[in-house]
A and B are shown apart, each in its own frame.
Chain A
Amino acid sequence: MKSIVQIIMALTVLLLFAVPAQSAQKWELDKAHSSFYFNVDHIFSKTHGQFNDFKTEISFDPNNLGESSFYFEIAVKSINTNITKRDKHLQSGDFFDAGKYPLMTFRSKSITDAGNGMYQVAGDFTVKDVTYDLTIPIQLVGVKEHPTAKGKLVAGFDGRVTLDRLAYKVGSGKFYELGVIGKDVDVLVSLEVLADK
């Protein structure tokens, strides 16, 4: 009986003082070399744009996917399609309603290795204050010593996903029905992130 008590006590002490599980490497955004790009059909052509203002919180270790995570926060007002009037229109109630819903966010819940540097990042995508399940296939393009910034590691991520904007209520569908603006938006999340070596 005495030995059972001793074992339980020893286990308790071990649990209390156990070293917390190794957390995944944190990566800081290199904003100058990252962006959230998109393109969408316009009658016959493709209109390209990007969001200029965003934040990321990235912890990533391919050997510790359980502790890895991605968080993206995009300021809708920063939409840029090179034509200011179009940007204003995209920010209006006809599309993003940026005055009312200033942010879009994505927070990962699980990451699975899909092989060949591809990861299926599943999470919550919040747009116009409604949260949807979304899985973004993200490729780890590479990790290496930064060629110019001494003592830094650089990693690259490319996430590509096609979103049906109407499913997320970005537009009522009137421009789609008119055959003017497509509903499928190709999104490219292109990130360069840095960490101390």
Chain B
Amino acid sequence: MESGKPKNRSNKVIVAVLIFSTLVIIGLAASVPFYFETTTIWYKTGLDKTFLRFGQVAGMIALCLILLQIIIAVRGAYLESWCGVANLVRLHQVNGLLICLLILVHALLILLPEGLNNLPIGRKYWPEMVGGVALVALLATTFFSYFREALKIGYQRWRFIHRPLGYLIALAVVIHVLFVSDVFASGVLRSLLVSAGGGVSLYVLVVKTLLFMKK
């Protein structure tokens, strides 16, 4: 296992490029609610409109960070050598907290304009409910990860649940976005998200296969 900081100068350049590209992707994603307005935005005015828009921005950033979180968690030999395992683990932990914060902001800002006594509960609101399940699972998994030792949960036991739950949450979030938002219902955004989801899945598959072959 390699650890610590990136070793040489070329690694630093690669890391800088990776960080820059990630920030550009996040920036582009955050601008989606301004360039691709949902019909819900059309029918909101004043503060409600601002809440909804920034709720969507928070959701878009969270979506990117969740997909990134999978890549950071799976790592792979190249990523490990470029960034160092310790840095990736630290990033995974901080990113997890950031995602929790963002999805709480997302849920709150999106639900506020329709009223907190008017929650989207019921079969016809299943895409929102998938988001709700992802939110609860995310908060729970983050909580148990941070307080694992204090709660005296064994590492293997925790990992046994944490790993599949991580993938399921990412899958749930992608499904949530594909079916909840009308701008993702068809067209370029849908294709991009399906490709991103497919790309991350492929990355996981390649890294796991290589790891398996190495063993």
Residue numbers of A with Cβ under 8 A of B are 84-85, 87-89, 91-94, 97-100, 174-175, 180
Contacts and interface: CB of A to CB of B under 8 A. Distances in A.
B115 A92 contact: yes
B10 interface: no
B117 A85 contact: no
A88 B125 CA distance: 9
B115 A99 contact: yes
B182 A85 contact: yes
Contacts, number: 33
Interface of B: 39-40, 43, 45, 113-115, 117-118, 120, 124-125, 182
B48 to A, nearest CB: 8
B114 A91 contact: yes
B113 A85 contact: no
Contacts of A99: 115, 117-118
A100 B117 contact: yes
B45 A89 contact: no
Contacts of A85: 39-40, 182
Contacts of A175: 43
A89 B38 CA distance: 13
A97 B43 contact: no
Contact of B40 (A89, A91, A93): A89
A91 B114 CA distance: 8
Nearest to A97: B115
A85 B113 CA distance: 12
Contacts of B120: 84, 88
A100 B114 CA distance: 12
Contact of B118 (A88, A174, A180): A88
Given A84-B124, A88-B114, A99-B118, 7 more contacts: A84-B120, A87-B124, A89-B114, A92-B118, A93-B115, A94-B43, A97-B118
A34 B125 CA distance: 24
Contacts of B114: 88-89, 91-92
Nearest to B116: A99
Nearest to A80: B124
B124 A174 contact: no
A98 B118 contact: yes
28 contacts: A84-B120, A84-B124, A84-B125, A85-B182, A87-B124, A88-B118, A88-B120, A88-B125, A89-B40, A89-B114, A91-B114, A91-B118, A92-B113, A92-B114, A92-B115, A92-B118, A93-B115, A93-B118, A94-B43, A97-B118, A98-B118, A99-B115, A99-B117, A99-B118, A100-B117, A174-B45, A175-B43, A180-B43
Nearest to A93: B115
Contacts of A88: 114, 118, 120, 125
Contacts of A87: 124
A98 B122 CA distance: 15
A174 B114 CA distance: 16
Contacts of A174: 45
A110 B125 CA distance: 41
A131 to B, nearest CB: 22
A98 B114 CA distance: 10
Contacts of B113: 92
